[in-house]
Amino acid sequence: MPELLNEPGRRGYPNYPAVIYIFIVAEHPALRAGIHALLALEPDLLIVGETQNGLDVATQLLSNPPDIVVLESLELTLRLHQQHPALRLLVLSESEDLAAVAELRAAGALGCLLKSASLLELVHAVRMVASGRPFLCSCLGLAALREQPAPVSQVPAALAAPPAWVSHLSEREQQVLELLAHGLTTEQIAQKLFTSPRTVETHRRSIIDKAGVINTASLIRHAMQQGWLT
C-alpha cells in the first residue's frame, strides 16, 4: 500500500495517498478501456490490474493489492467486502434506482457512481473513496434528496437573508447552483448556459468549496436548510 500523506485537507481529502492503486473489474472491454484511459490521465492514479469478471480477482488482488476496486457487480461487491473488509469499493451503476443503490451500500460499497458520470466526477469519486470517505454521485444524491421532505423554513424564503457563503459566489456560480438544484446534469447545464461541461464542473467544485460541503447533494441540502433554495 502507498504511504499516506497525512496533511489535513490536502486537495480536500484527508489521508490522501501519494499514489492511489486501482483495480478495475468490468465485463465489457470498452468500459474497462474507457475507465483505464480516463484515470490514467491523472498522475496520482495508477491502474495495477483489471479483469472482465470476478473469477480471478482474489488471486490478482493478492499479487497486486490495490487501495480501491472499481467494479459493477452487486454479487462481487458483497463477496469482496466479506473477504477483504478493509478494501474500498467504488461501484459503477446504470440505474438511478435508490433501492438498488441502498443494496450496493449494504453489500459493502463505499461509493456509488453512475456510468454516465463525467470524468471529473469519476476522478473525484476515486479520490474520495480511496481516502476512506463515502461517495454518492450528484445525480444519485439529488434523487435521494428529492425523495426527502423539504425542510420548512421558519422565515419566509423571500425575507430570508442568504447565507454568508452565497455572497462569495459569482453570478454564474449562482446560476449553476440553481440549475443543479433543479436536477440538471453537467451537460444540460452547459447547454443551457452556452458553455462547456468542464467549465460547469469547475464552477460546481468552486461552489462546493465555498459552501464547505463534500458533494453536490450535501450542497443542495445545505442551501435548502438555510432557506436560500426552495
Q: Is 84 exposed, middle or buried (0-12, 13-18, 19+ CB in 10 A)?
A: middle
> Over pLDDT 70: what percentage of the chain?
77
Which of 217 and 150 is assigned the larger pLDDT? 217
What one-letter code names the amino acid at 185? T
The answer to the question of residue 62 being in a domain is yes
Contact 96, 46 (CB under 8 A): no
Q: How far apart, in whole angstroms, are the C-alpha atoms of residue 132 and residue 68?
A: 10
Residue 25 has pLDDT above 80, yes or no: yes
Do residue 123 and residue 54 come from a single domain?
A: yes
The answer to the question of residue 119 being in a domain is yes
Total-model pTM? 0.59
The answer to the question of residue 230 being in a domain is no
Question: Mean pLDDT across the stretch 5-12?
Answer: 37
188-219 exposure pattern, b = at least 16 Cβ within 10 A, e = fewer: ebbeebeeebeebbebbebbbebbebbbbbbb
61-77 per-position pLDDT tens digit: 877 789 999 999 888 89
Do residue 22 and residue 98 come from a single domain?
A: yes
Q: How far apart, in whole angstroms, are the C-alpha atoms of residue 208 and residue 84?
A: 33
The answer to the question of residue 176 being in a domain is yes
Do residue 130 and residue 194 come from a single domain?
A: no
What's the pLDDT band for 162 if we cut at 50, 70, 90?
A: low
Do residue 159 and residue 139 come from a single domain?
A: no
Q: Which residues pair with 47 in a beta bridge?
A: 22
Structural domain that includes position 194: 154-225
Q: How many structural domains comprise the chain?
A: 2
167-204 per-position pLDDT tens digit: 788 888 888 888 877 777 788 888 888 888 888 889 88
Residue 9 has pLDDT above 50, yes or no: no
Domain endpoint, select from 94, 114, 144: 144
Do residue 43 and residue 88 come from a single domain?
A: yes
Residue 60 has pLDDT above 50, yes or no: yes
Contact 29, 52 (CB under 8 A): yes
Domain endpoint, select from 124, 144, 164: 144
Domain endpoint, select from 101, 124, 144: 144
Do residue 60 and residue 158 come from a single domain?
A: no
Asked which of 39-43, 75-79, 101-105, 125-129 is least confident by mean pLDDT, the reply is 101-105
- Looking up cell 454568508 gives 164
Residue 152 has pLDDT above 50, yes or no: no
- Looking up cell 440549475 gives 179
CATH number at residue 158: 1.10.10.10
Which of 28 and 181 is assigned the larger pLDDT? 28
The answer to the question of residue 122 being in a domain is yes
How high is the pLDDT of residue 91? 93
Q: How far is CA 14 from CA 5, 11, 35, 133, 187, in A?
A: 8, 8, 24, 9, 30
77-87 per-position pLDDT tens digit: 988 998 889 99
Read off φ and ψ for residue 71, nearest 5 degrees.
-145, 180
The answer to the question of residue 99 being in a domain is yes
Do residue 108 and residue 16 come from a single domain?
A: yes
Alpha helices in the chain (DSSP H): 29-39, 57-63, 74-83, 98-107, 119-130, 138-147, 171-181, 186-193, 197-211, 216-225
Question: Mean pLDDT across the stretch 208-212?
Answer: 85
Do residue 18 and residue 88 come from a single domain?
A: yes
> Over pLDDT 90: what percentage of the chain?
15
CATH number at residue 41: 3.40.50.2300
Do residue 36 and residue 56 come from a single domain?
A: yes
How high is the pLDDT of residue 227? 58
Do residue 121 and residue 206 come from a single domain?
A: no
Residue 22 has pLDDT above 90, yes or no: yes
Do residue 78 and residue 186 come from a single domain?
A: no
